[in-house]
Chains A and B, each alone.
Chain A
């Protein structure tokens, strides 16, 4: 596709359950980012991949959060033992991966609601 895609668009789960959120970046983009946007706030950084490896995971809030990108394209954000405070919009972005000042292009997000 032409842009970043994310699935599902909405996810409702119960407290304590496990969820996976998927991101498909722009073709050829080697850099991929995950952000979390809570209601009324700006997005907050979670993790950054360059290729298959997590180059910076300093934004992950705790060890319940984990992300993978095994083939350097699609990425999956995994949340274990979900809590109500995890409810937010999870945004994925990608960029060509050539330099640190390049533009990041965002997907439409996955809206997660933990009941």
Chain B
């Protein structure tokens, strides 16, 4: 069973417009959710995470994400996109129990058009 899904392979948005990158999860118990960004030929950079508490999580570079338990979603958002935000974005989850490793979605390529 898939633990985390990113339904869009590609998202295009105009510079200055708000952006949303979608992520849904399927885990038992309380999920621990993460967003990472990957620029070409570079490793993954941490953006933000949800562990507990406020459903709206603020992270690096102006990004935020909203945890929605009823919809089992953790969408990444930014009010005003920059061309430099163009990159590959990954949602990930720690499955809980004794697990420590991240389980990643398939990634969403974000392109911000000037």
Contact = CB atoms under 8 A, between A and B. Distances in A.
Interface in B82-113: 90, 92, 94, 96, 98-107
Interface stretch (B13-21, B39-47, B69-77): B39-47
A66 interface: no
Contact of A42 (B46, B49, B100, B105): B105
Interface of B: 32, 34, 36, 41-46, 49, 51, 90, 92, 94, 96, 98-107
B46 A103 contact: yes
B100 A31 contact: yes
Interface of A: 4, 31, 33, 35, 40-45, 48, 50, 55-56, 59, 91, 93, 100-101, 103-109
A100 B102 contact: no
A109 B51 CA distance: 27
- The listed residue with most A CB atoms (<10 A of its CB), out of B36, B92, B102, B106, is B102
B102 A41 contact: no
B104 A43 contact: yes
A104 B101 CA distance: 9
A45 B43 contact: no
